[in-house]
Structure 1
């Protein structure tokens, strides 16, 4: 019997915006964006706002032009993280093979699962139901034999839906899939493919491996495989953490140095808090500054010994700040610690190859 894994990709629906609408009933049914405004960037848009063309990563000014009655809400990342942790607890009721991609999405390998449920489709349905009961928020899910297919499938019946791509359906599904729906193919690449008369999977499949590598470099190998449903990436719950970062985007730009130092102190304390919970230390501190005009500046300091506490973060951050003249308003400050001791305690996750017995 051919071995197949059972992979679920769970993706929360308009997560940040949905949290705001859940916590504030007055926002429900209205076009809402988290972040943005005249000088910011949209972090998330509700489905009501998306109808007007508002999207995440869009400049706030453009979003307001598209939807003049758009309600702009200040981000509350601590709240989003709190709910994300509740959702991950639900995932771990079924499997320890959970690979978070961000606060609002994750891969789960449920080939073997703690509840002994044979149908991955049933597991996804249960998880989505529990998420709604626990948080009041909806999630969508994709189910298939690998991460690529599960990711593509989760976007198919959004919001609040799920789709399974059964092993017997993979080739037909991929041939009919529009090229811009392929995970990993962005706007620039999809435009280039359109110029080459590649509009869906069946067109891509006609290209040889050599031709795809000539046209797209190393990515050509990836495109050649995924259109055939081949993707060997495993769900990795124990990624080695290479850095820990704290960033703060300001609703009102910082206009003086005292305000900058006050924020750096707060960020330094939060960084120490995150590190102490995980028993992580690092030797390289990086200061990140983003200005009102969206230009960005980073500067780092590496020590021979590990940074010890927030006071060292703060004092080093101030010195890094002083290396650059304060000549324009600041909209974001961040501190990250890298060169961590996590490399000394590397964890290895071993996944067994288990026969695929039932999907639906």
Structure 2
């Protein structure tokens, strides 16, 4: 697999999002998840993305266990900053220095490692100056507990302020054919100006761009897409299906799957881009990895952008609670 630079780290152009291995997307199977992580390493995937909130820390434990015997082959990225209430859904954001230090220690323990390769602030705390948060994160680098720093879902101005305190290696944002906010709000141009690697989260539109979902009944009852995601809500789901239909038609013309074509579109957004599609099954991992080296022509890229026009998507990309966290 082609590689990318993330600060001083070298990673495969496509990583693996691990959140769904522990919750959010229906039933989980630890054995299959671990097998998927091992298969990812075999295929040249080196960046594994998790967070302390996923599975209430369980995802970090799972990833740490899976990588215990192959730690030297992997680049581990995790996140802090979202604090989950007892109801399992309500979340607050923390970025104070004391919390940063504590969160890092807890993630190191759950992962079973002596350092985290890439440490993100999951959401920016509006009550704490970003300078305080990043200063605390930089102290973790100085202590050898973290190698590189990043922000997740941060605005352009915040990225600049953070980068002035300590050079950021990565900024992670949701980015796909049907979510292109960072291309329009200055985040992508700011990353390129500062030399920060953009990491595309949910590059398959939380699975919708695969074409595997055509009705609400296709989702498990507790699947968070069915419960909280506006684009999957009744009415919006039906209005969005034609977009996927056009994507599938283009995929058939090329002889690939809709997922592979959607991922290839993300990879073509820039030579510095890293995509982290999530999956908990080897079957889909292998399908996704193929897309990292799929070459598309300019006309194919134009056709894709037109077929799944971001302005045609029905529904907001997140619910009101998440929108507040993102400052939207």
Q: Do the structures match in fold with TM over 0.5?
A: no
TM-score relative to the length of structure 2: 0.31
Q: Which has the larger radius of gyration?
A: 1
TM (norm. structure 1) is 0.29
Q: Which has the higher contact order (CA 8 A, sep 6+)?
A: 2
Larger % of strand: which? 1
